[in-house]
Structure 1
């Protein structure tokens, strides 16, 4: 009778529901992967200087690229009216313009694809009753955040179209990257919470609030990374561990801009220094967290995840140092950005699964 009542320890009555939630998890993790791809394409768009190549925001008709030579010339003419062309790319050929246009167009198309991949399955799962209650409200909130992210993206681009500007405003780029990261956090948080882990409860130990603090630190570091990218601070002070010949730059150099608060965005020395400091803090915190859990329960799943987080944090810092020393080549800049998302996603799973 026990065999008839269950399969591999899972009650038959719960199996259809379990399969449905498994489909939802796959969908959410697929969305998370698309968000990471979106962030990678956005990074490539920035590093290739392509972000201002499309000077208008047309959420619907903008999905169709120029299809004729006349249409391409019209788009090129719009680009030639902005300061980036005059001050950075003057003399660019139409072929070169098509290259940067393709990156920005692809970035926007991927955003449209994510919207479809989010809302169409959401409607399907909701109509079937697979998603309801708090998870449904959480997903609606994520959808709203995705819509807001599209608006933030255009506000960011518009900041670079202002007279005299040759790139987007660093603080708006940092906001755009941070909101994308928060969307990733939300997707992974909901997805990892849908898995039945009752059978592994004995393999987990209490962690306190350390895993959630780690998520917060990583998000803060990603925001600082957005400032580094936006201000091109990674192209300066390309030595490590010293900056401009010293371990800690003098306050007179860190706060040279007046008023002092603007140094945190406009002073590339302080922007990069802050990014370095938080990297050290994350690695130190992750190592401490792994050490404390391993000391209490070395064979637990919690200890394994904590050790994994410490390794990922160290690897990401190493990749960041290589990126800095090489003065941010395209491959290194993208790898550093994408790996940051992997570290963040792992931290979210660890925080979601761990017992506080």
Structure 2
């Protein structure tokens, strides 16, 4: 690829990543407003078009009135109330379909014009398939909320949906980095970079685990309890941490344990990033790009930790919950940028 083609294609991939961040934010809003169950059918193609008649609105509202969430949370809010939550979920699904077009149409064009390698084209087509699969996972998640005894989706399916979105985001972002800054050799001092890369890898693994724990915190609504920090009901470790049996079940279903685990993992992630900065900023010969990436990482983890505490203390308002969820992806992207900057140098 020519340098001009690299800039064009990487810019397109960065746009897709930005759209994925928007998708994660919109998903957070739909979850926190209870909008996710408002659309009772899955129409991958015709779903592009919203209801265009009063009769269609009445039909969709009648479908929604058949599930427990309506009777237990929204009974009597009328068609206008239904339309409010419907639009949040419709925008979420529309945004996903729009991203599919933004990925597929330029991919076909760039391939026909010979502007990218065959290997890259195949990889990006695989991302398109994964994106379509993510839509199916989303419906699999939503369908769990239609059960007779449920008013929300199953936490495990919510975590699966979120994790798949972040996996796709990370894969596209790493590809964008590689297209923009192709690997032309080791960093100036490979020996100095090795411990920094190891520390950053540990921090990334901890962050991914923290995000999964955050998904369970969201799915079980554990964030609405113990809205103090750093203690939980006056204790560092909640007294009912191990109330469920077998013990491992507490990690996924016990709200006290789920929230504590998320707090603990977030703190460990912040400490691991601090260690990465300590090692990285003292190392010689990493190059300006890697050092700037490390500084950016320090700011990002501080902002995300503050957002988490703020969301907790304010008892999870919609805006704070959505921003906290979205910035987790921003932090993940920053960590990937650090890792990438330690393995490659830009072509000049």
Q: TM-score range by the shorter chain?
A: over 0.9
User: For residue 319 of structure 1, what is the aligned residue in structure 2?
Assistant: 307
Q: Say which SS state the counterpart of residue 147 (structure 1) adopts.
A: helix
User: For residue 75 of structure 2, what is the aligned residue in structure 1?
Assistant: 90
Shift, 1:203, TM fit = 8.4
User: For residue 206 of structure 2, what is the aligned residue in structure 1?
Assistant: 217
The equivalences for 1:1-356 within 5 A come to 17-196=2-181, 201-202=187-188, 206=193, 207-250=196-239, 253-297=240-284, 300-301=287-288, 302-355=290-343
- 2-side partners of 1:196 and 1:31: how far apart? 18
Give every structure 1 segment of 4 or more consecutive aligned residues whose post-TM-superposition deviation is greater than 3 Å: 196-205
Q: Say which SS state the counterpart of residue 167 (structure 1) adopts.
A: coil
Larger radius of gyration: 1
Contact (CA 8 Å) 1:290, 1:303: kept in 2 or not? no
Task: Give TM-score, length-normalised by structure 2.
Answer: 0.92
Shift, 1:201, TM fit = 4.7
- 2-side partners of 1:29 and 1:299: how far apart? 25
Contact (CA 8 Å) 1:193, 1:353: kept in 2 or not? no
For structure 2, the residue ranges without an aligned partner over 5 or more in a row are none
Q: Say which SS state the counterpart of residue 91 (structure 1) adopts.
A: coil
For structure 1, the residue ranges without an aligned partner over 5 or more in a row are 1-15
Deviations 1:302-322 (A, max 9, x none): 233223212211221111001
How many pairs are equivalent?
339
- Higher relative contact order structure (alpha carbons within 8 Å, sequence separation ≥ 6): 2
- Report which stretch shifted further, 257-266 or 103-112: 257-266
Shift, 1:281, TM fit = 0.8
Task: Give TM-score, length-normalised by structure 1.
Answer: 0.90
Contact (CA 8 Å) 2:297, 2:334: kept in 1 or not? yes
- Report which stretch shifted further, 133-142 or 317-326: 133-142
Q: Say which SS state the counterpart of residue 133 (structure 2) adopts.
A: helix
